[in-house]
Amino acid sequence: GENVEQHPSTLSVQEGDSAVIKCTYSDSASNYFPWYKQELGKGPQLIIDIRSNVGEKKDQRIAVTLNKTAKHFSLHITETQPEDSAVYFCAASIGAAGNKLTFGGGTRVLVKP
Amino acid sequence: EAEVAQSPRYKITEKSQAVAFWCDPISGHATLYWYRQILGQGPELLVQFQDESVVDDSQLPKDRFSAERLKGVDSTLKIQPAELGDSAMYLCASSLSDGMNTEAFFGQGTRLTVV
C-alpha cells in the first residue's frame, strides 16, 4: 500500500519567516495530495490540495508544489504568523473520488512572535 | 457551515469494557470514514463506507472493533472489549464523492482513554 513520509517532525520559525514541509510518497498511482492543519483538540482541516496534473498551486500565503517524477510534494507558508502554529499533515490518495487518504506523520510548527 | 458531528468528545473507559462512538456526516456525503489517530502520529484509516456498504475495513481489528452505517447516514464505531492500546483520538470524516469533489471533512474527534 501507499506510504507517506513527512519531514521535519518539528519546525520552529520566527514570525514573518517562511516555513517549508516536505513529503514523499511511494505509490506512483497516487493523484491527489491534500494538506491538513490540526489545532490542539480539533480535527484536521484542509488548507490546500493539489492534483497530479498540476505542478504548483497557491492560495494567499500558502503554496504547494508537486514533483511526480521524484514522488514528493511540499507545503510552503510565507510571512508566518502566530496563528499558523499547529500540526500540519500531508496526505496522498489513489484513484477516483472517495478513496482513502494515507497521512504522513505530521509536522509541529511553532511560530515565535 | 455544515460540519461532521461526533460524540462524545471525550470518553474514559476501563479495560475490557465496551465503548461506542457516533458520527453524523455532512448531509449528502455518501462516503464516511473512521480514522484512528494515536498521539503524535497521523490518522490511519480503520473503515470506509460508501452509503451503507463497507468499502475498506482492511485495517479494522475485527476481533474487537465493529462499525455500521445502517441507513447510509450516521455511523457507529464500537470497541468490545477495550484494551489499553486503544487509547487514541477517533476521527470521523465524510466526503461528497461525486467524481469532482474529493475533499474529506473531519469532525472534532472522540478522545478515548482506556484505563
Summarised one tens digit per residue, pLDDT across range B51-103 is 999 999 999 999 999 999 988 899 999 999 999 999 999 999 999 876 665 78
pLDDT, mean over chain B = 93
Mark yes or no for CB contact A97/B100 under 8 Å: yes
The C-alpha cell at A79 is 510571512
Average pLDDT across chain A, whole number: 93
Residue A100: per-residue pLDDT: 84
Query: Does residue A2 belong to the interface with chain B, where contact is any CB pair within 8 Å?
Result: no
- C-alpha to C-alpha distances, A17 to A49, A64, A79, A106, B29, nearest whole angstrom: 22, 17, 5, 20, 39
Interface residue of A100, A103, A107 to substitute, partner B, most B CBs within 10 Å: A100
Q: Are B41 and A45 in contact (CB < 8 Å)?
A: no
B104 interaction partners in chain A (CB closer than 8 Å): 34, 46, 101
Instruction: Work out the pLDDT band at B2, boundaries 50, 70, 90.
Output: confident
Using alpha carbons, select from A78, A74, A75, A83 the residue that is nearest to residue A112: A83
In chain B, the residue whose alpha carbon lies closest to the alpha carbon of A34 is B103
At A46, the amino acid letter reads: L
Cα gap B22→B75, rounded to integer Å:
6
Q: Which residue in B has a C-alpha nearest to residue A5's C-alpha?
A: B42
pLDDT band at A96, cuts 50/70/90?
Answer: low
Residue B74, classified by CB atoms within 10 Å of its CB into exposed (0-12), middle (13-18) or buried (19+), is middle
Non-local (6+) Cβ contacts of A111 within 8 A are A13, A14, A15, A19, A80, A81, A82, A83, A84, A85
Per-residue pLDDT, averaged over A80-85, amounts to 97
User: Is A96 an 8 Å CB contact of chain B?
Assistant: yes
| Best CA proximity match to B108, nearest among B24, B18, B12 | B24
Q: What is the dihedral of CA A26, A27, A31, A36, to 10 degrees?
A: -40
Whether A43 and B56 lie within 8 Å, measured CB to CB = no
Comparing alpha-carbon positions, the chain A residue that sits nearest to B49 is: A98
pLDDT at A60 over 70: yes
Report, as an integer, the average pLDDT of A32-53.
Answer: 92
Contact A57, A63 (CB under 8 A): yes
Q: By C-alpha distance, which of B55, B52, B89 is closest to B68?
A: B52
